[in-house]
Chains A and B, each alone.
Chain A
Amino acid sequence: MSAAKSRVIPGFTPTLGYTLLYLSVIVLLPLAALFLKAAGMGWGDFVTAAFSPRVLAAYKLSFGGALAAAAINVFAGLLVAWVLVRYDFPGKKLLDALVDLPFALPTAVAGIALTSIYGPKGIIGGPLLSWGIKVAYTPLGVLVAMTFIGLPFVVRTVQPVLQDFEAEHEEAAASLGANRWQVFCLVILPAILPALLTGFALAFSRAVGEYGSVIFIAGNMPGLSEIAPLLIVTKLEQYDYRGATAIASVMLVASFLLLLVVNSLQKWRRDRFAGV
């Protein structure tokens, strides 16, 4: 295939050249600048800036909150994907389109809307507060925003797999005497597991770096409800460029590791279904 696919069509060298140049200027060089800056700090300074107690608390909130939000989204996302694929009901098309809202709605807008809903006088926050549950301006608020932002990832990775799932497998299991719950756990769930894990990883990685939708509802108390991206901004505003750089490099390395995980999950999915 490769021999027939190349060299007949014009334009390879200029388009590849432009792609590499643009990629380097916009993405690779700026990212390299960050790591160069971090490397120039010296190990001791770096560790002090990147792992002080306040920063550690921020990592804990960003990574812990993202983990919890992604876990919630696995259940909520699977539920929504299942209902959208398997059942027919009025308004289904509209709901399907609505799933992508967190992708399309600017994060700052989502942030202030969620704060207003879950605030002390909000439509949900008010009643919850009278039950003694405070959502806005606590870590719980961070969790709400991170769940909002991650929901579409799970739905949109699971949905196509559920759609392509062959009815024969289910019918075979049913004819062998399995009930619906057994069919779901033993036949369907294993088939959609790679997609669920991919969705989980994507939602997690988005929530870890999320800023706009979180900062309004978080309250941003240092050590308590302050996320790592906000701490980077705070350091920058204090002209502490080295501090900001140190935190950013730790988060970037974590993101790149996550990207590797997502890529190998997707490869696993492809390999698994390549033979089917």
Chain B
Amino acid sequence: MTTSRQEPLWARLLLIVSAVAVLGLFLLLPLLTVFAEALSKGLGHYLAALTDDDALASIRLTGLVALIAVPLNLVFGLAASWCIAKFEFRGKSLLISLIDLPFSVSPVISGLIFVLLFGLQGWLGPWLADHDIRIIFAAPGIVLATVFITFPFVARELIPLMEEQGTEEEEAAVVLGAGAFRIFWRVTLPNVKWGLLYGVLLCNARAMGEFGAVSVVSGHIRGLTNTMPLQVEILYNEYNFASAFAIASLLALLALVTLAAKSLLEWRLGLRGRH
């Protein structure tokens, strides 16, 4: 770096200190607070809060929801990126915009639309009630809202990556006589595996941490329809702060693992500043 591109030392120091202060006060402090509050009543209380029946039920439900929502959006992401990146067709850019749509919808509205469809007063509500099928205030509604919220994650990572890689390798495979699945499995998938993992990682973090959308469709039934973030809310509103932060600390750990893995993958992919 030449001298004409450098600020004087005092300016550099001032800028670095300010940036570190912004990140420290604004991002690091909340993170540390979660763990400090979680352990504020001692390790015994912390462990008891995590092994409480309702807490365990919420952990199981969160795992189950992610286990369904992430693979669904993974399959969709693969299908969407295949047809968008490997072929030309009209309306492609509209399709890409529509895939990104859930990101610009407020989480609360993402939950509301499913209540309007499947709730008791909703379009399909009476029919569902007649057939004794519960979607809203039950696990299926939570899964639906989560699928909606995490819909674009895998697709939006894979589309630019597959477009970058072009179609030559796949065409060569066709010429050599490979079938569709073989091409996908042997040629395309190995080329995009890190990007795919990146998308899955972000998708999973959001699926496990989603609050607003899930809150609207869950009904907050303890031990039944509370995911971890909802359990955090309930405990917090009961002024049971240490227990709320104990469950929150698990979610914060998930965020830290996600960030670490994300940085590793970005380094691996040679990506910078992607989200």
A and B from one assembly?
Answer: yes
A105 adjacent to B255 (CB under 8 Å): yes
A residues within 8 A CB of B248?
Answer: 106, 108-109, 112-113
CB within 8 Å of A: which of B255-275? 255-256, 258-260, 262-263, 272-275
Assembly CA distance A178 to B121 (angstroms): 67
Assembly CA distance A10 to B181 (angstroms): 9
B contact residues, range: 35 or more
B residues within 8 A CB of A205?
Answer: 104
CB within 8 Å of B: which of A1-54? 1-2, 4-6, 8-12, 14-16, 18-20, 22-23, 26-31, 33-34, 37
Answer whether residue B67 sits at the interface, using C-beta atoms and an 8 A cutoff: no
Assembly CA distance A161 to B241 (angstroms): 43
The residue of chain A having its C-beta at the shortest distance from the C-beta of B22 within the complex is: A76
B275 adjacent to A105 (CB under 8 Å): no
Contact among B23, B28, B79, B215 with A233 in the assembled complex (CB-CB below 8 Å): B215
B106 adjacent to A9 (CB under 8 Å): no
B29 to chain A, nearest CB (A): 6
B residues within 8 A CB of A27?
Answer: 98, 101-102, 148, 151
A30 adjacent to B113 (CB under 8 Å): yes
B residues within 8 A CB of A108?
Answer: 209, 211, 229-230, 232-233, 248, 251
A125 to chain B, nearest CB (A): 11
B residues adjacent to A (C-beta < 8 A): 1-2, 4-5, 7-8, 11-12, 15-16, 18-20, 22-23, 25-31, 33-34, 37, 76, 79-80, 82-84, 86-89, 95, 97-102, 104-109, 112-117, 119, 121-123, 144, 147-148, 151, 167, 170-171, 174, 179-180, 183-184, 202, 205, 208-212, 215-216, 228-230, 232-233, 236, 241, 244-245, 248, 251-252, 254-256, 258-260, 262-263, 272-275
Known: A5-B88, A33-B113, A83-B20. 13 other contacts (CB 8 A): A9-B183, A12-B83, A15-B82, A19-B76, A76-B26, A79-B18, A95-B20, A98-B259, A105-B251, A108-B248, A163-B273, A167-B2, A233-B216
Q: What would be 6 A-B contacts, judged by CB atoms less than 8 Å apart?
A: A107-B229, A112-B34, A156-B273, A156-B274, A171-B2, A236-B112
